[in-house]
Amino acid sequence: MKENETKKVKPKRGYGMNEVPAPGELVAFGLQHALIFMFSTLPAPILIAGGLGLGPAETGLLIASALFVCGVCTIIQSYGVGPLGARIPMGFVGSFVFISPALLIIPQSGFGGYMGACIFAAIACGIVFGFFSDWLKVIFPPFVSGAVLMVLGTGLIGNAISNAAGGSGVANFGDPLFLGLAGITFLITLLLSVLGKGFISGAAPLIGMIIGFIICVAMGMVDFTPVNDAAWFGVPEPLHWGISFPIDGCLIMTLVATCGVVEILGTTSATTTVAENRIATAQETKRTVITQAVTSVFACCFNTVPTISSSANIGLMGVTRVYSRFAVTAAGVILLIMGLCPKFAAIFSIVPNPVFGGAILMMFGTILCSGMKIIMESELSDRTQTILAVALAIGIGFNSVSGALAQFPFWVSTLLCGVPGTAFSAVILNLLLPGRNLKKPEPEQLPVEAKASTSES
C-alpha cells in the first residue's frame, strides 16, 4: 500500500496503519489517544509554572499553549503536511527532558531566553541529524541515554514530592492533609495502572487526578475564579514573554536536545514494529527527526517546550489493535480544540498541587526505572561502568547541592547539574576514554530497538 493511500475496512481484526476507521469509531479511538497524549504533555507546563511561581492566568496560558502545540504537531506528524510528517501512528508531545533546564535557565535569562535557547537547539539538532545522523548512535550510545533518564527521573521525582507536600513556597508545606490527598491520588493511579486494561491502564494518572480533584472540590479547596474569568475561545499568544538567545543557554539546550533526537530513532522503529511488524524505513526516520525540529521551533514560538515523539500510546495500540495513523490524527484535532479553549486550560491550572504530585509520582518513577533498564541491557564493561559512575555522580551530585557551584559562571553551574551535567560528562568521557571504536557504523549496524521514552517522555 502506498504511503498516502487510505482505505476503509470493517474492524474485523483492528485497523492497519493506513486504514480509516468509521467516523464514530474514529472519534472514540482519537479520544483515547488524546487523553494519553494530554497527560504526557501537561506535566511540563504545570511543573515549570509551579517552579517559577506563576499565577493561574499565566499557568493557564502555558497549558493552553502546550495542548494547542501538541495537537498541531501530532496532526503534522501522523497525517503529514507536504514534506513534514512520517505518516505513522505516533504523536508529538512536550518533552520531560526540558523541564529541569527550564528551571535553571529561566531565572537567569528569562522565559524569552529559554524559548530562544530551545529554538536554537531545535535548529542545531536538525542540522546535526542531516549531516551526522550515522554518528549519533556512536556519540550517544544507549547507556548514555539510560543515564540521562535516571537523572531526569530522580529530579522529576523530587518535583513530584514537592507538589505532593503542597508546592514550593506554601506556608504549611508538608501538611499531612496535603500528603494524604497526594497519597489517595497515588493509590488510585497505582490500582488503575495495575488492575486496569487498555485505555484505563494507559490513562490511569489522568483518571487518578480527576478523582483527586473531585475530592478537593468537595472539601472546598478549589477556587474556580480563574475558570470563570477565562474565555471559551482564544488562540494562545505567541512569544508571550518575548525572545532572546543567551549563548550559554543555547549551548546547554543543544546538548540536551541532541539526546532527544537519539530517543526518536528508537521510538519511530517501536511504532512501526507494533503497527506493521517492521523497522522504520530511512525515509520515515528522517522525516520524523526533521518534523521534530520544525515542530519544536513552532512549539517554542508558542511558549512551550520542544516536542518529542510519544511512545505512551504504543501499548494502547497493542491492546486495541487499532494502528491507524488517522486515529492519532483525530487525537491531534481533539487536542487542538482543547488548546483553543482557555476555560478548559484554566481547569488544569487550578488543580491542587498535592493531587498533581500524587498523579505524576509513579510516572516519574517509571522514567527512572526505564533508564536503569536501558543501562542493564547495555554492555556493562569496565569502561562503560566508569563513564556511568562519573556521569551519574556529577549530574546527581551537583543537582542535589546546587549551591556548590554558586561562585562559578551560570553556564558552568547549569552544564554540570542534573540532565545537562550527566549528558555532557558521559559524552565527553565516551569520546575521550580509550577502548571505544569510533568507526562510522554501517546503517544496518545501527541499533533500532525501542528503548523506554521520556516524553511521557
Q: Which pLDDT value is given to residue 120?
A: 94
pLDDT of res. 73: 95
The whole-number average pLDDT for the span 251-256 is: 84
Of the two residues 178 and 169, the one the predictor is more confident about is: 178
What CA–CA distance (Å, rounded) separates 273 from 281? 11
Assess contact for 440 and 135: CB atoms under 8 A.
Answer: yes
Percent of the chain with pLDDT over 90: 18
In this prediction, residues 412-438 reach a mean pLDDT of 78
Residues 359-414: tens digit of each pLDDT: 878 877 877 887 788 788 777 888 888 999 998 998 888 877 867 877 787 777 77
C-alpha cell of residue 283: 525515509
Instruction: Let me know if residue 451 belongs to a domain.
Output: no
- Residue 81's DSSP bridge partners are 84
More confident residue, 331 or 316: 331
Q: Give the pLDDT score at 437.
A: 58
pLDDT of residue 57: 85
CB proximity list for 218: less than 8 A, separation 6 or greater: none
Does 232 map to a domain? yes
pLDDT exceeds 90 at position 415: no
Rounded Cα distance between 382 and 119, Å, is 38
Asked if the structure places residue 450 within a domain, the reply is no
Residue 39 or 72, more confident: 72
Higher pLDDT, 311 or 174: 174
**CA separation for the pair 196, 206 (Å, rounded):** 13
Mean pLDDT of the chain: 81
Does residue 418 sit within a domain? no
Distance CA 457, CA 454 (A): 3
Number of domains in the chain: 1
**18 Cβ neighbours under 8 A, 6+ residues apart:** 1, 3, 5, 6, 7, 324, 325
183-230: pLDDT as tens digits:
999 998 888 878 877 667 767 777 888 899 899 988 888 888 888 888
Q: What is the pLDDT of residue 407?
A: 79
User: Whole-angstrom Cα distance, residue 212 to residue 251?
Assistant: 40
Pairing state of beta strands 307-309 and 92-94? antiparallel
- pLDDT at position 448 is 40
137 pLDDT more than 60: yes
211 vs 40, more confident: 211
Give me the mean pLDDT over the 252-266 stretch. Answer: 76
Evaluate whether residue 412 is within a structural domain.
no
* Domain that residue 134 falls in: 21-374
Query: Which has more confidence, 443 or 132?
Result: 132
**How far apart are the C-alpha atoms of 214 and 270, rounded to whole Å?**
37
Mean pLDDT within 21-32? 84
Tell me the whole-structure pTM to 2 decimals: 0.74
| Residues 263/149, Cβ–Cβ less than 8 Å | no
User: Is residue 55 domain-resident?
Assistant: yes
pLDDT at residue 70, rounded to an integer: 94
Q: What is the pLDDT of residue 143?
A: 83
pLDDT digits (tens, 9 = 90+) for 160-173: 888 888 877 778 88
Candidate from 188-202, 220-234, 293-307, 335-349 with smallest mean pLDDT: 188-202
How confident is the model over 82-127, as pLDDT tens digits? 889 989 998 898 887 788 788 888 988 899 999 999 999 999 888 8
